[in-house]
Amino acid sequence: MTYQSLNPATGKLLKKYEELSDKDLEAKLAVAATCFKTWRRKTYAERAVVVAKAAALLHDQAEAFAHTMTLEMGKRITEARGEVEFSANILAYYAKNAERFLAPEELHPAIGEAHMESSPIGVIFGIEPWNFPYYQLARVAGPHLMAGNVLVVKHAGCVPQCAIAFEKLWTDAGAPAGLYTNLLISHDQAERVVDDPRIRGVALTGSVVAGRSIAARAGQNLKPSSMELGGSDAFIVLEDADLEHTMKWAVWGRMYNTGQTCCAAKRFIVVDQLADTFLDKFKAALGALKAGDPLDEKTTLGPLSTEAALLQLLDQVDHAVAKGAKLVMGGKRIDRPGSYMEPTILTDIKPGNPAFRDEFFGPVALFFRVKDEDEAIALANDSDFGLGGSVFTRDIARGKRVASRVETGMMFINNISWSDAELPFGGIKNSGYGRELGGMGIQEFVNKKLVRHAALEAPL
């Protein structure tokens, strides 16, 4: 069964769902294609009525949406509420700003006049992950629906109730049939959806393996795609950092969403002068986290999303230690019902250790000590990923210089405030390509058309 809802805090099955038949999938794609013919002709104001209504409903029903998320993938309830509110803000942001972002751009040719105009391209296929069950959907739905496209979405198999709830949100907001369609489909069916000529673009957030497969498939079909494929972000601590401020971000940056975040702080790179003090404080802070029911607001450590995710992470840690890494703390599952893991720190990770290259998607921190700023930057850049990163220093000008030298799609100085509706999000290298959110996010799946008028005679 591909789509089943299991509570990772208890291990209990909540609900199962059957995959769509090929016949039902065809019917849904046909409705989406038909919807595009009329939705594309709607004005921005008309589209905004639906998108803004969805935002308002999401805000008004935040507690119910958050509760479903916590039961289904284990996100602590306070974090779940925050995600729902952020998702509502994203939808509202694009309802308000889409027309401005896609306004015609006047050009100034030497002869005549010209402009660029933006138009939707059709049905967009989204493939989205479980770690942010609504935010991942909102950040494709807001921009691309407001641009005049329509969406069909394959969500992760472990969050079907969230996927269904988000689809119902659009129906409740007055969306026409086919504007936003949730697809409970297999991987084979997903590949056929990419091939389908009615699909005009593909947006994926997921693993590198999934990204390579889907990007190749989209490329074979000459369809544009955007890929956000995870990361192994550096958290650089220079000798002049405010350690108290830095420590708060270190704990939050690694442990938010139980560490299951693409742009989480994963490689802690600390200059020698502060390394021992930082590590001692970091161990103490992580050790103070207490596992508990994620529905309880007092819980500070939630479960991993699935038992499979927990087992994979435990195996990664064991393999890293077998290859020479030192286990400073943690490394084991917590003896209680559910898929809980101890906060973990690994040190002495050499370049030949698989941990040096791999992404750890959970409460595992990799700690490195370096002699100076240049060595910190070199280590930060010695990665197959390039999603985000951060640098902590009291000298903001220095922080900006370091940020410019680190090879990522995003860098943060004295914070890890990853995502705002108005700020583009995305990476380079194995972290993917394309951008979501901000003014750039809405440009991914529109036709940028040149229109020119000039009083010219045809050349003979």
Active-site position among 167, 228, 373, 444: 228
Told to judge if 422 belongs to the known catalytic residues of this protein, a careful annotator would answer no
DSSP states of 49-113 as a string? Answer: HHHHHHHHHHHHTHHHHHHHHHHHH---HHHHHHHHHHHHHHHHHHHHHHHHHT--EEE--SSSE
Q: Tokens at residue 400, please?
A: 């900006």
- Residue 152: its H or E element: strand 150-154
**Residue in 158, 162, 262, 263 annotated catalytic:** 262
Minimal CA–CA distance to 316: which of 356, 258, 259? 356
Residue 352 burial (CB < 10 Å; 0-12/13-18/19+)? exposed
Q: Provide the H-helix boundaries in 196-271.
A: 208-220, 243-255
Question: Is 228 tagged catalytic?
Answer: yes
CA distances from 189 to 19, 261, 263 (A): 10, 27, 29
Is residue 67 within 8 Å of residue 77, measured between CB atoms? Answer: yes
What is the DSSP track for 349-400?
--TTSGGGTS---SSEEEEEEESSHHHHHHHHHSSSEES-EEEE-S-HHHHH
Q: How many other C-beta atoms are found inside a 10 Å radius of the C-beta of residue 290?
A: 10
Helices (H) and strands (E) in the chain, counts: 14, 20
CA-CA distances (angstroms) from residue 210 to 207, 214, 290, 366? 5, 6, 34, 25
Q: Long-range contacts of range 455-458, CB-CB < 8 Å, 24 or more positions apart?
A: 455/111, 455/112, 456/111, 456/112
Maximum CA extent, the chain: 84
Q: Which residues of 199-229 are buried (b: 16+ CB within 10 A; e: fewer)?
A: bbbbbbbbbbebbebbbebbeeeebbbbbbb
* Alpha carbons 416 and 423: distance in angstroms, whole number: 13
Cα–Cα distance, 308 to 305 (Å, whole number): 8
Contact 392, 242 (CB under 8 A): yes
**Which of these, 216, 124, 96, lies nearest to 445 by C-alpha position?**
124
- What is the set of active-site residues? 228, 262
